Structure 1
Amino acid sequence: MPEGHSVHRITRQFQRNFVGHRVTVSSPQGRFVIGAAQLSGQTVTDARAVGKQMFLEFDHGLWLRIHLGLYGAWDFSGEILMDATMASANGRMGQTNQHGTDLPTFDATGENSIFSIGAPRRTRVRMSEQEKEIDLDDTFPPEPVGQVRVRLLSDTVCADLRGPTACEVLDPAQVEAAIAKLGPDPELDNTPEAEQRFVSVVRKKPTPIGRLLMDQSVVSGIGNVYRAEMLFRAGLNPHAPGKSLSDETARDLWHDWAHLLHIGVATGQMMTMDDLEGERYRLAMKNRADRHWVYKREGLPCRVCGTHIVLEEMAARKLYWCPRCQA
C-alpha cells in the first residue's frame, strides 16, 4: 500500500499539471459515471494530500476524494511538467527515483546527470507504491489500459486511476469531516499544535505503539515500512503501550516521522538509513535491501547488534523488529 510520501508525490503531480486547468472527467470502466458527470468540464483549483488520502477541488465547490488502498495507481501521460522534487536523471520516478531537492541524483550507472528539471516531458508515468515510466505511443490521449475508474483529461495531460479503495465526490462539509477523522500529517502541518495532538493521543492510549503508528486517526501516512523503521530507530518495543512512552520519546517519534516523510517526498524512496554517505548511499538509493534497518530482514542479523530480526503480525500487517535493540 502506498505510504504517505507516495500520496504527497502524486498530489504534487496534480498541483503541477492540473491545478488551474479545465478537465474532462470520464469513467472508461463505467463504475464512476455519475461522479464523473458531476466534475467534468470544471477547473481543478486545489490538490491536497492528507496521509494516504488525496483530495482534488473543482471550481464549482465539489471535491474528488481518492484512497489508493492496496491496488490503486495513477497513470499520467502527455506533456507532463516535472519540477525539481519530481524529476530524475533517467525519467523513472518513485521507489526507483534517485533525485531529491536536497540530495544528489544518480542515473542507473551512478553518474550525476540531472536534466530537464521543470520542463514538460512527453512521457507516461505510473504512480502508486512504486513509480515507473512506461512505454508511450504517439497517440494522445492514449487508449485506456485495464479497468480505468476515472480519467482526468486536460489539453496536454491525462491522468488515469485504477483500482482505488475509495473514489467519491464530496461537498466541502464532507471533505472537512473526512479530514477531521485523520491524524496530523507533518508534511501538511508540522506546527507545535499538530505535534501536541499526536503526543497527547499516544500518551493516553494503552494500545501498543506498533498499532498506534498504523492508526490513521492517530497520525497520518505511516504504513508498514515506516512503522518498523521508526520503532527500530527509536529503540522501542512495538508492544509497549502508548501511555508508557515518555513525553520526550513521543515527541521524538513525531520529529522522526516528519524527517523521514520529508526525505520520502523529496526522493521517492523510503530511505530510513539516512546517515549513509558516498558509495553506501548510492547503493541504498538503488536497492531497498540496503536502505532499511529491519524491514523485510527477518532471520538476518541486526545491523547493530547481530541478533536475528524477527517477524510477527500486528494490526493485520507484518512487523519486523530486533528483540534486543528494541527490548
Structure 2
Amino acid sequence: MFSSLELVFFFKQLHHLISSGISLYPAIELIYLDIGSNKLKKPLQLILSALREGESLSNILHSKLNVDLFITNVIKVGENNGELGQALNKACQYLEQKISLKNKIILALSYPAILFTFGIIIVTIVVRTVIPKYLEIFQSYEIELPTPTRILLKVYELFTSYWWNIPLVMIVTGLIVYLLFKKDIKMFLSKTSFSIPIYGTFKYYITLMNFLSNLGSLHNSGISIVKSLQLSIATTNNAFFKHQLTGVIQKIIEGEKLSIALWNTRFFPAIVIKMIMVGEETAKLDKMLLQLTDYLNSELEIELQRFIVLIAPVCMVFIGLFVIFIALALLLPTFNIVKVLHIN
C-alpha cells in the first residue's frame, strides 16, 4: 500500500518526530493530521487502528502493508532495543539506496529503450505504408529482385500474414514450459540471468549489494550472524543465488567462518571474501559488510557509466545499418526497373 518513495517520506517524518521525544502513536497521528494525500491517509489509518489494538509497528508493516521483510526486521529490532528512531533511519537509508540504484539503471537503459522504440515505429511505418507501394511496382515488372529486397519482402509477408502466430506460439510454449518445469525453469533462468552480457553484470552487482547490505544492516542492529543470514537469504529474489547459499547457514552453525562458507559457494568475488575476512579478524564484520555495499555500489556506477558510453555508438551503428539495408532493399530493384525501361 506504500510505494518506496511514500515509505521513505513516512519513515523520515516518523524518525524526526520520535527522535524529538514524541512516542510512536502520537507521532503517526501527527503525520496523519498533517498529510494532505488521501492515498497516504489510508495506510496511516490502518496503522493507527492496529496500534490501538496492541500490534507492533513492524508486524503491521509486514502483515498488513506487505513491506519488505528486511525493513520490518530492522524496525522490529529497533522496537525491541528501544531504538526505533535509529531503526527507522536505517530503513530509510536502505530504501533510498534502492531507489537511487533503480533510478540509475532506468537512466542507463532509457537511451537504448528510446532508440529501440524509435526503431519499432520506423519498422512499422515502413512495413505498413512504404513496402506495399513498392511491392505493387516490383510485381508489375518482371525483374529479378536482389537479396536485400527478397529478405525485406519475406519479413513483410511474415508480419502481415502470420504476425499473430508469433506471440501466440511464444505464449503457449512459455506456458507449457512454465507448468511442466516451473521450479527447474526458474532456477535455470535465475542462473542464466547472470551470464547475459551487460544485464548479467548489473544483476550480479545488485544481487550482491542487496544481500550484503541486508546482512550488514541486520547484524549491525544486534541480530546474530545466523539469524541475519536467514533473513537476508529469505529476502533474496534470485532462486539460483538463494540455492547457492542454502548450505552457508549450516556451515556457520557448525563453526565455520562466514568468509570461508561464502567462498565455497563460488559466487562471491575474491575481494569481497578478503574484506569479510578482515572484518572477522578485526571483530568489525557488520561495518565491513556495509563498506562492501558501498564498494559494490561504486563498481556498479562505473559499469553503468561504461554502459552509457558504449551503448550510444552501438545503437547508432545498428540504426545506420538498418537504414542502409532498407535503402538498398528499395533502391536496388528501382535501379533495375529504370534499366528495363531504358532498354525498352
User: What's the TM-score once normalised by structure 1's chain length?
Assistant: 0.25
TM (norm. structure 2) is 0.24
**Structure with the largest fraction of helix:** 2
- Between structure 1 and structure 2, the one with the greater Rg is 2
